[in-house]
Amino acid sequence: MSSQVRLRLLPRARCMFDEPVHVKVAGLRSRQVVTLRARATDEKGVMFSSMATYKADGSGEVDLQRDPSLSGTYTGVQPMGLLWSMRPDTLHKRFTKTCSLNPQVVKFSVHEEEEGGMLAEATNERLLVGDGVIRHPVKDGNIRGVLFTPPGEGPFPAVLDLYTFGGGLSEKRASLLHRVSYQVTQFEGEVMDEASGLQQSSADLFQNVSECLSTRSLLQIQTEEFRAVKSAEATEKLGKLCEESSSPHR
């Protein structure tokens, strides 16, 4: 690697998973053509990578918020292109990230031309759970889930992220919603009731989840009987209850 070339990730190299990162390169030769790469490995060991060719300005700098990619996995001015254009090295593989406690590590590097040597490298840690957030595993009857509570005294408005198709929980979406001061619960509800062996409706699942949440001290939610209504109607009703529970006048 070159001691003169600097690859910077701004405002910091450690950030939340959904935060943008500003990539800048300095110390290149005037108008030098370089290749920027990003690579990450998912939880199943599958490597994902991207690349883009850039031409430095007269001062030997490349700024992804200003400069266009000339070729690669994307072209044009795309500040986050190295992340969203990542492709699996093994075809037909999807990125797997289920554990919210471990940050996703992304390696950025700058190289001479397409196959040249590495000039500089930087590591980006992308967090799913921020400082002060409490993660509570939940097991109640035939409901399994995870509850994310943001910092503060509460009570917090509630968001439910409900899985009913099996395959296990993926905590990415639920863990990020706590950043806007929601108490987020992700559940995997079995459509078949374990005790009776009968299939549950979506409304039954919502009722079971709301009753489970009502016992949590930091969450104020009213529970009432959910009848056999459409899933969309049950979702709307629960949303209204969450709004009422978070009102400062209550």
pLDDT of res. 55: 97
Q: What is the CATH number of domain 134-245?
A: 3.40.50
Q: Is 80 exceeded by the pLDDT of residue 222?
A: no
In the chain, where the domains are located: 6-127, 134-245
Least confident of 52-66, 99-113, 188-202, 214-228: 214-228
Apex 221 CA angle, 215 and 222, nearest 5: 100
Q: Where are the alpha helices (DSSP H) in the chain?
A: 81-84, 172-177, 202-213, 231-245
CATH topology of domain 6-127: Immunoglobulin-like (2.60.40)
Span 95-124, pLDDT tens digits: 877 777 788 999 999 999 767 799 999 999
Structure confidence by residue, pLDDT tens digits, 136-186:
787 776 667 777 777 777 677 777 776 655 555 667 777 776 665 555 656
Mean pLDDT (the chain) is 76
What gap in Å lies between CA 212 and CA 207, rounded to an integer? 9
pLDDT digits (tens, 9 = 90+) for 57-88: 999 999 999 999 999 999 999 999 999 999 99
pLDDT on residue 243: 53
| Alpha-carbon gap, residue 19 to 15, rounded angstroms | 6
- Is there a contact between 2 and 113 (Cβ–Cβ < 8 Å)? no
- Residue 200 in contact with residue 175, Cβ under 8 Å? no
What band does 34 get if pLDDT is binned at 50, 70 and 90? very high
Whole-prediction pTM value? Answer: 0.69
Q: Which pLDDT belongs to residue 111?
A: 96
